[in-house]
Amino acid sequence: MGEEPLAQGIERFAAYLRNERRYSPATLANYTRSLRQLCEFLETQGVTHWREVRGDQIQAFIAKTHRAGLSPGSLRDRLSAYRSFYRWLAREGEAASNPAIGVRSPKALRKLPQVLDVDEVSALLDFPANDPESVRDHALFELLYSSGLRVSELTSVRWCDLDMAEGLIRVTGKGRKTRIVPVGSKARTALQCLREQDRPGADDPLVRGRLGKPLTPGAVRARLKRRAKDQGVWKRVYPHLLRHSCASHVLESSGDLRAVQELLGHADIGTTQIYTHLDFQHLARVYDAAHPRARRK
């Protein structure tokens, strides 16, 4: 591997993720940064090749970064990057074992996602769409909530991905995985108004700015924040809040966790199960308010 086996290994792994696995630029940057920081630490330990690394060295690095203030969630992401890297090294014949397998990150208190209730969603979305900008905002916000999209999925979708007749849209999520999700009637009506206004081509982005270019995720966040303020919704409103709200409302009405998992595109149902905790929280509030034996004197 030349004079810098540690650094060169990272660069070759990054090329593999970029060219073969088609990782997003953001994920690729996170993996590369995490591995380079581990590399710097290992060099201070006298390590010259990845096959020399021991589990206790990785554990020591995780402990060091935790003491420096890195959150348990970020540490878990780092360990995931290290395990993936060593699986690749094993396939390349450059490591016989995976020293990151037995390393654990500190446990984090699981934070429940914030959601809007149905009345708050109505207050946010029920605004008059009587000019080009409000027509556009109405369509994209209705779609975010209706289909539980990530903002990156919304900004990358094209008109040819939308089947208005069937009420379906094809989106590309994390890991370049494609899924088809339903689009509600109110979102379809809003999208039809947007189509009549913009007269787009099939390959045009669904969400465009004034100059016809795709809106960035940051622009969507800014528009949603401004619209929430105009509508008198004083919670902190952001695109992922609409995704959380969609999932919570569907689960609350259906009780079908697998369907919500498919809607959101979660690879692991454990990720989706966070919404069951929200459902139980709602049940607890209703119980405390309604059950005669639950009320405190």
The residues annotated with a catalytic role in the active site are 150, 174, 240, 243, 266, 275
Identify any residues that bridge with 170 across adjacent strands, giving them in sequence order: 180
The arrangement of strands across the sheet holding 162-163 comes to: 162-163, 168-172, 178-182
| Percent helix, percent strand, percent coil in the chain, to nearest 5 | 60, 5, 35
The number of C-alpha atoms within 13 Å of 148 and in the hemisphere containing its C-beta is 22
The residue with tokens 């947007």 is: 194
Contact 18, 28 (CB under 8 A): yes
Cα separation, 63 vs 66, in Å, equals 5
The residue with tokens 């339903």 is: 182
Residue 45 per-residue DSSP state: T
DSSP 59-100: HHHHHHHHHTT--HHHHHHHHHHHHHHHHHHHHTTS-SS-TT
With CA atoms as reference, report the closest residue to 243 among 198, 278, 284, 208: 278
Cα separation, 205 vs 160, in Å, equals 9
Contact 152, 265 (CB under 8 A): no
Contact 85, 35 (CB under 8 A): yes
Take residue 270 and report the two structure tokens written for it. 């454990």
